[in-house]
Amino acid sequence: QVLLLASGGGSVQAGGSLRLSCVASAFAYNGRCVGWFRQAPGKEREAVAGIYTNDGGTYYADSAKGRFTISLDNAKRTTYLQLNSLKPEDTGMYYCAADRIRGGNACYSLREADFGYWGQGTQVTVSS
């Protein structure tokens, strides 16, 4: 069964922090790149970060470098996205996703088309 469940979103003021979690089924986790994406109101979905579950290698979009940190806990089949120094422009729905083809290559480019399994999303709202 393919399952990814994202949680941890909420409403915070600018400068605040949140930690998002994504629990995955074994099929959607083992040997895969798990990515985080976000979609702001009225905008296209964009990549935030990815992590390869086999070796913990991390990959970030430019917008996420320095403020966001992706990590994992293999025992829990869970990836985390730590969001620090949040800005109003970080507001949006945050999704976790697993790559279509195992191997981690999807992490290098974080192209949405390379991710075939998606969670339901968790809302992040940052007020000024």
Residue 2's pLDDT band, with cuts at 50, 70 and 90, is confident
Least Cα distance to 80 among 12, 10, 27, 6 occurs for 6
- Counting Cα atoms < 13 Å in the Cβ hemisphere of 78 gives 14
Is residue 103 within 8 A of residue 58, CB to CB? The reply is no
pLDDT tens digits, one per residue of 17-68: 999 999 999 999 999 999 999 999 999 999 999 999 999 999 999 989 999 9
The 3-class secondary structure across the chain, one letter per residue, is CCCEEEECCEEEECCCCEEEEEEECHHHHCCCEEEEEEECCCCCCEEEEEEECCCCCEEECCCCCCCEEEEEEHHHCEEEEEECCCCHHHCEEEEEEEECCCCCCHHHHCCHHHEEEECCCEEEEEEC
81/88 Cα distance (integer angstroms):
17
Q: pLDDT category, 103, cuts 50, 70, 90?
A: confident
* Inter-residue contact 73 to 52 (CB < 8 Å): no
